[in-house]
Structure 1
Amino acid sequence: MTEMIYASAVLLASIQPLWRRQSVSQVNVSGISMDENSASVLLSLLDRAVLKCVGDAEYVDVAFSGGLDSSLIAVLAKKHAKVKGYSIGMKESHDAQWCAHAASLIGIDHIFIPLTREEVISCANEFLDYFKVDSFLMLSYELPVYILLKKCGGKVILSGQGADELFAGYKRYLNVGVERLNDILKKDYEKAKNERLMEIEIAAGMGKVICYPFMEKEVEDFAFSLPAHKKINNGERKVMLRVCARIAGVPEEICNKEKKAIQYSTGIYKVLVQNWKTRGFYS
């Protein structure tokens, strides 16, 4: 178990220089093939990372949003163990509808756990009693992970965290200059690694292990060796990762789905916004 925990505490990778100054979303790469060979290499590295996280476990849980990242992890994990996807959210949230559908598309067992407003508030106060967060935004995206870890039935949980920072998943990256993209991704990735350490600590306190296959060293090194145009192409983000997912057999409906951050897709952010002042989350 200790080995799996430290498998997710990855080191920094060096990055390669990029091209001319220009918005990434404006680069014309119509003559450049999104190299399936590179995507196959990435898939092989990810599969190895997933296997390393699974270890000899017969059953693993996946923190499942039904998006590109968690679906790819689930598809790879089910080659090595029995997989169950866990999702949480408010009863009327986006995830309440979508996650079960996505799980059926990739053929994994799935459990959706509906939350009440009172439960979210209670868990937020509980979380803040034990962990220091720097901002309300940080609370909003760490709280769903905390709740999910409490609800997962298994001891080993796989997460798709890290993919957005490695493969340019956020909208803000569209306006970054081409030659600066990997520098900015690396800075964001460093922050993401530090935040994952809190989640590893939370999981350990619950007698569980949370692993991040995207944040394994080999995957990290490969991601930062890719030029900007293999991450963003004419306004499409995570280009190389989408090619990789298609090769792995992730359905097009999932590969083409627009990203929605967990705090919004679960409806938890809305509950916090409505209650954080009156409930004393912050002074």
Structure 2
Amino acid sequence: AAGVVGGFRGGGRAVCEAKRLGGCLDVVDGLFAGSYGVDLHEALSSGRMPLGHYTLLHVEGGAITCARDHLGCRPLFIGRRGGLLAVSNVPNVINMMGGSPEPVQPASILRINASGVSARPYWRPAPVRRCGEGGLANLLRDALLESVKLLVERRAGLFFSGGLDSSVLAKLCIDLGLEPVLIASGMPDARDWRNIREAADHLGAEVMEVEITQRDLENAVKELEHLLGRLPVMDAAIGSVFSIQARRLSEAGVRQAVAGQGADELFGGYMKYLRILEERGYGGLGEALAEDVFNLHRLGLPRDSLACKLAGVELALPYLLPTVAELGLGIPPELKLRRTGGDAVVRKYILRRVAESLGLGRIAHVEKSALQYGTGVSKAVARMMKLWGRS
């Protein structure tokens, strides 16, 4: 089998840092957390990988060695056509050569040579030490604070919805003395605008508001599908919001965007988890949450990362640094969907405890629609695709 490398949109800063450290990799795409004091060549050979969101790829002696970060926050795909193997962080590159792109598993190092493909994992979540509800909330708050310290630049954009996940990140940034540029977008009649403005007032922050037009959506979806192939309505809606906001940040000179991706899967934010709890109990809920976290790498995270990369903006996801995700995965599901008497269930209960400890007041208890619905974008994309002859 031969190896073909194509379609990589590398992260310029990361490439520069890798070279400065003497790890002159062929491709480095991503964001490394905190200190860059790591030899990336040594990391690839030893499996002691740095924290961050990245893909690494090295070609030497007729072999390709590549790796993906712990949760798959950066895209990496492999595909085969006959005896030819292709590796790319843009899945449509593999589609166009006649292959079928498959996501490389997160937390794994892949070696491709004439003998075929071999993979070895380098990380599995460790068990969380047992402690009470208050102790777990404190551990989670501290882990998120450290994640923001490690990942977030002083003047980063922050995708802000006025909901729990983004408000927690905004408050942590402000408490650390950072200067986040809060940005929110939606259709002119979106129902999220009120929540956004009220939450920003509570934080004492200003928000860059972007009203999305139909033309914005058309351009964003076409660009994304050029990289990812044809998208379902939901993915097109979410990806287009990220793309539009990232482009506006780029125009303002901001080169990093922070988002709350992963919080719903880690802490039980989606409405579907109520049904799973009812049908399968807490055991089944825990299994479903873990499955959703470990499936984020397949399309959701590549979609969001590439949407930002199109605008030259690097995406930082503090909830998906492995130190936070490991803790989130280990928190009992009873503290994620909390029964409060009768039929009432509070979603993301443990994260709401964190929000309370940060002084977020009513924001800690706000119930909000998913991004694609609260912004009004999902309906607009569905109408647009219908006009394109797609159901």
**1:202 to 2:307 alignment:** yes
Instruction: Give the secondary-structure state (helix, strand or coil) at the position aligned to 2:347.
Output: coil
- Paired residue for 1:225? 330
Note the residue ranges of structure 1 that are not aligned, 5 or more in a row.
17-32
- Paired residue for 1:114? 211
Instruction: Give the deviation of 1:47 after TM superposition.
Output: 0.4
- Output the CA distance in 1 between the equivalents of 2:199 and 2:274: 27
**1:186 to 2:290 alignment:** yes
Letter in 1 for 2:380: V
Instruction: Give the secondary-structure state (helix, strand or coil) at the position aligned to 1:59.
Output: coil
Q: Which moved more, 1:76-85 or 1:165-174?
A: 76-85
Greater fraction of residues in strand = 2
Instruction: Give the deviation of 1:34 after TM superposition.
Output: 7.1
- Paired residue for 2:349? 239
- Output the CA distance in 1 between the equivalents of 2:230 and 2:265: 20
**1:150 to 2:255 alignment:** no
> 8 Å contact 1:34–1:230 — kept in the other structure?
no
Instruction: Give the secondary-structure state (helix, strand or coil) at the position aligned to 2:290.
Output: helix
Letter in 2 for 1:221: E
- Paired residue for 1:167? 267
Between the two proteins, the alignment pairs up a number of residues equal to 264
- Paired residue for 1:7? 52
Letter in 2 for 1:7: G
Deviations 1:217-265 (Å, cap 9, x if unpaired)? Answer: 011111111111111111111110000111112222x111113111111
Deviations 1:137-187 (Å, cap 9, x if unpaired)? Answer: 222222211222112231111101100000011111123221122221111
- Paired residue for 1:53? 151
Instruction: Give the deviation of 1:270 after TM superposition.
Output: 1.3
- Paired residue for 1:26? none
Task: Identify which of 77, 101, 104 aligns with 2:198.
Answer: 101
> 8 Å contact 2:239–2:307 — kept in the other structure?
no
User: Where has structure 1 moved over 3 Å in runs of 4 or more?
Assistant: 11-16
- Paired residue for 1:255? 364
Task: Identify which of 132, 138, 146 aligns with 1:40.
Answer: 138
Letter in 1 for 2:366: K
- Output the CA distance in 1 between the equivalents of 2:307 and 2:218: 18
- Paired residue for 2:102? none
**1:276 to 2:385 alignment:** yes
| TM-score when normalising by structure 1 | 0.85
- Output the CA distance in 2 between the equivalents of 1:137 and 1:111: 24
The structure having more radius of gyration, on CA atoms, is 2
Q: Which moved more, 1:136-145 or 1:162-171?
A: 136-145
- For residues 85-96 of structure 1, what are the structure 2 equivalents within 5 Å? 85-96=182-193
> 8 Å contact 1:160–1:213 — kept in the other structure?
yes
- Output the CA distance in 2 between the equivalents of 1:192 and 1:97: 29
Greater fraction of residues in helix = 1
Letter in 1 for 2:168: L
Instruction: Give the secondary-structure state (helix, strand or coil) at the position aligned to 2:211.
Output: strand
Deviations 1:181-213 (Å, cap 9, x if unpaired)? Answer: 222111111222332133223333432211100
In structure 2, do the counterparts of structure 1 residues 115 and 74 end up closer, same or farther at CA, with 3 Å as the change threshold? same
- Paired residue for 2:228? 131
Letter in 1 for 2:348: K
- Output the CA distance in 1 between the equivalents of 2:293 and 2:312: 27
Instruction: Give the secondary-structure state (helix, strand or coil) at the position aligned to 1:58.
Output: coil
Letter in 2 for 1:193: H
Aligned Cα root-mean-square deviation (Å): 2.3
- Output the CA distance in 2 between the equivalents of 1:181 and 1:101: 32
Instruction: Give the deviation of 1:82 after TM superposition.
Output: 0.6
Q: Which moved more, 1:219-228 or 1:121-130?
A: 121-130
- Output the CA distance in 2 between the equivalents of 1:125 and 1:189: 28
In structure 2, do the counterparts of structure 1 residues 48 and 14 end up closer, same or farther at CA, with 3 Å as the change threshold? closer
